[in-house]
Amino acid sequence: MTSLIFQTITRLVSPILMIFSLYLLFRGHQLPGGGFIAGLMTSAGLVLIYLAYGCERFDWRNRSRFFYYLFSGGLALSFLTGLAGLFVGGFFLKSGVAHVHMPLINEEWEFASAAIFDLGVYFVVCGVCVSLMTLLGEER
Amino acid sequence: MSHLLILPILIPLGTAILLLLLRFVPVARGILVAISALAIIGVNISLLSKIQGQGIQIYRIGGWAPPFGIVMVGDLLSGIMLVLGSIIAICALFYSFGYLKNDDQHAIFQPLFFFLWTGTNGAFLTGDIFNLFVMFEIMLMSIYSLLTLLGEKKQIEAGIKLISMGLLSSTLFLAAVGGVYAFAGTLNMADLALKIKPNVDHPLVSAAAMLFLGVFGLKAAIMPLHFWLPDVHSSAPTPISAMLSGILIKVGIYAIIRVFCLIFVDLQGTFQVFILTLACITMFVGAMGALAQTDLKRLLAYSSVSQIGYVLMGVGFFTVAGMGAAIFYTISHGIIKASLFLAAGILKKMKGTAEMSEHGNMINISPLFTLFFLISVAGLGGIPPSSGFFMKFQLIKAGLDGGFYVPVAVALVVSLFTLFYLVKAWQKVCLLDQKEAPKMLPTFNLLAPVGILAILCLALGFAAEPIITLTNAASQQLFSPELYIQAVMGSM
């Protein structure tokens, strides 16, 4: 599908998708959003690039190992967050919140350990989606 | 608070993730698999003895108090099922080292197997109905891929059946959970029991109970919903067949017991006739199906349907003795059926097929195999001194004591058929002459798990007394649900 219109639109849309997905990822602790939906959105952006440009800009197929480790590493990250809850907080999956005063902007920011868990989920979703896409798009 | 209760979920989950990361390091994977499998069985046994000593155990995930957070609850039934599951899983895992062909298959098999193990352990431990749904999904997801691992045509066909079954049951399960939640506003099983007790006449409650029975009946392959089982259990890779028949259909039975002995206690009388009728039909139809099979693995799969009918009959008595007998039946049948499936897998490995007419003369080819096979056949047929005798004896006795003469009569007649198809299979595989020599002989890796399970079956027969005491205690605990509710809700 190498149409100029599609490629141009992709170049415009996919960065917006990526940035918005990161925004969704980090607001997900209190508001609608979170790792799963953000991961899907990032994957949507990646799929757009894959469809528009194929393998000419980025060799997806030879990077399959990277995406394999992305999703298994993401799973490990989420699991380790749970374990950290067990060792620090006394319960598996116990989460904690830290309020940190940011010096330059003079605001109180909230850091939750659940965000790390969400980051793991984000990696899993991205890794699985891209792996699936490259596997299904492979010529046999 | 002790973390022992969460370990049966954490160890297999962590192992599965590590196995994914170690995909390209086969040696490390082998060592890891061995260590964690032993660790899980150790943890499960110590958990069972702890439950025996100190009563029902509770673990609050994330530290949230019930009924708001998810609790893990370990009572005697969960403990027994955990130990049974880990015995079968460890044998299947050991067997897989001799069964799978190359490291690519191991690299996919091992992590998925541990995810499956996470799911079964979690389903036995969870005290939250939605979490039970999640655990079922974890099991199903792993089974989908494990089933089609070798990519044979029959496996793909069975995979389609399994996926349609899985999607159907998940949808219905979700609908049932949704209905209960809309009615009671809680998902914690103990809290649900409290909320439903005064409103048992509400139509939504009976509807939800019926839906739960249907969903878990679909998983446990109870008669009108057994259509998927013979294909799936017979075409799966053999270690997975052993897991499926040994423990996964028991998860369905476990869930039926849990739901009807905790949440819908007052509906037991209403559902009794229905459950007993289903049990009788299941026993009969499964045995009839098994009689007609020429493939050993298919025969065993149909026999699993039939045997699930027996377990369901024990549950359907809703007496302490009947439930105890059903739990003992579950243990004994799980071990025997796993051993038989692994034995059938050896035959399949030897000649590329488990068709009984292709095999024969095993008594001269491999006397050890014949011995183990004979013990398991005697076990399933109900011949003393194997545990099979006690499992049937307990069940029939409980039925007669409770005055359920018709189901008992059906069970006895079906036992005759069971013995008949098993002896037929044994005779064909072991005694009859066969000219064509097999390609290979059974290796140690394949024979040892079969042997261990067969010896366990005999040991269960000789040491039936303590196990029956244990299962009766578990059943006693199930019939005093206030203990469970007190343990969960009292821990606030």
Inter-chain touch B17–A72, beta carbons under 8 Å: yes
DSSP B24-80: T-HHHHHHHHHHHHHHHHHHHHHHHHHHHHH--EEEEGGGPPTTTS-EEEE-HHHHH
Cβ of A91 and B10 within 8 Å? Answer: no
pLDDT digits (tens, 9 = 90+) for A111-135: 888 889 999 999 999 999 998 888 8
Hey, what are B18's tokens? 């590590």
pLDDT of residue B395: 94
| Of the candidate ranges A92-106, B56-70, B98-112, the one whose mean pLDDT is the lowest | A92-106
Per-residue pLDDT reduced to its tens digit, B435-474: 777 878 888 889 999 999 999 999 999 988 999 999 999 9
Sequence-separated (6 or more) residues with CB below 8 Å from residue B167? none
Contacting residues of B for A75, CB less than 8 Å apart? 17, 20
Which sign, positive or negative, has the C-alpha torsion B91, B97, B98, B102? positive
Query: What pLDDT sits at residue B389?
Result: 92
Shortest Cα distance from B478 to chain A (angstroms)? Answer: 27
A92/B23 touch (CB, cutoff 8 Å), yes or no: no
Provide the mean pLDDT of chain B: 92
In B469-488, which positions are buried (b, 16+ CB within 10 angstroms) versus exposed (e)? ebbbbbbebbeebeebbebb
For range A11-33, the mean pLDDT? 89
For residue B117, pLDDT over 90 is answered with yes
Weakest-pLDDT range from A96-100, B104-108, B379-383: A96-100
Of B23, B59, B62, the CB nearest to A85: B62
Evaluate if residue B266 carries a pLDDT over 60: yes
- Report pLDDT for B33: 95
Query: For chain B, what percentages of helix, strand and coil (3-state, to nearest 5) are there?
Result: 80, 5, 15
- Which residues 64-123 of A have a C-beta within 8 angstroms of B? 68-69, 72-73, 75-76, 79, 83, 85-86, 89-95
Domain residues for B413?
7-489
Judge whether B304 lies within some domain.
yes
pLDDT at B492 over 60: no
Mean pLDDT along residues B5-18: 94
pTM of the complete model: 0.94
d(CA B147, CA B137) in angstroms, rounded, equals 15
Four-residue CA torsion sign, B326, B330, B332, B337: positive
Q: In sequence order, what are the beta bridge partners of B74?
A: B57
More confident position, A106 or B132: B132
What integer pLDDT is reported at residue B67 of this predicted model?
A: 83
pLDDT value of position B141: 92
- Residue B491: the pLDDT is 55
Strands in chain A per DSSP E: 97-102, 107-112
Predicted confidence at residue B375, as pLDDT, reads: 93
For A51-77, the three-class secondary structure string (H helix, E strand, C coil) is HHHCCCCCCCHHHHHHHHHHHHHHHHH
Report phi then psi at A138, rounded to 5: -65, 145
In a domain, B436, yes or no: yes
* Closest CB from B1, B21, B59 relative to A72: B21
> Using CB atoms, which residue from B10, B14, B62 is nearest to A94?
B62
Q: How far is A83 from chain B (nearest CA, A)?
A: 9
Segment B359-383 mean pLDDT: 90
Cis, peptide link before residue B384, omega less than 30° from 0:
no
Give the span between the Cα atoms of B398 and B115, in whole angstroms: 37
Give pLDDT, residue A1.
Answer: 56
Contact yes or no for B61 and A89 at CB 8 A: no
Contact (CB, 8 A) for B147 and B159: yes
Q: What is the pLDDT of residue B155?
A: 92
Residue B331 tokens read as 């243990």
pLDDT of residue A91: 85
What are the tokens at A95? 């989460």
pLDDT for residue B1: 58
Task: Express as a percent the part of chain B with pLDDT over 70.
Answer: 99
Q: Among B52-66, B114-128, B283-297, B304-318, name the one with the lowest average pLDDT.
A: B52-66
Residues in chain B: 492
Q: Identify all chain B residues contacting A93, using CB atoms and an 8 Å cutoff.
A: 61-62
Domain count, chain B: 1
The arithmetic mean of pLDDT across residues B169-196, rounded, is 92
pLDDT of residue B437: 78
Mutate to test the interface with B, among A72, A83, A117, A140 (most CBs of B within 10 A): A72
pLDDT at A112: 82
Interface of B with A (CB under 8 A): 1, 3, 6, 10, 13-14, 17-18, 20-21, 23, 59-63
Which residue type is seen at B138?
I
Handedness of CA B329, B334, B337, B340 (dihedral sign): negative
**Residues on chain A touching B151 (C-beta within 8 angstroms):** none
Residue B1 in domain: no
Measure CB to CB from residue B17 to each of A76, A93, A95 and give the nearest one: A76
A90 contacts B17? CB cut-off 8 A: no
d(CA B246, CA B93): 13
Residues of B in contact with A68 (CB under 8 A): 23
Q: Say if B27 falls within a structural domain.
A: yes
**What does the pLDDT average to over B168-182?**
93
**pLDDT at residue B421 above 70?**
yes
pLDDT in tens, B26-42: 999 999 999 999 999 99
Res A20 pLDDT > 60: yes
Does B409 fall in a domain?
Answer: yes
CB B183 within 8 A of CB B205: yes
Q: Each residue of B304-339: pLDDT tens digit?
A: 999 999 999 999 999 999 999 999 999 999 999 999
The answer to whether residue B335 is domain-embedded is yes
Contacts of A86 in chain B (CB under 8 A): 3, 6
Please compute the mean of the pLDDT values over residues B248-275 and round it to a whole number.
Answer: 92
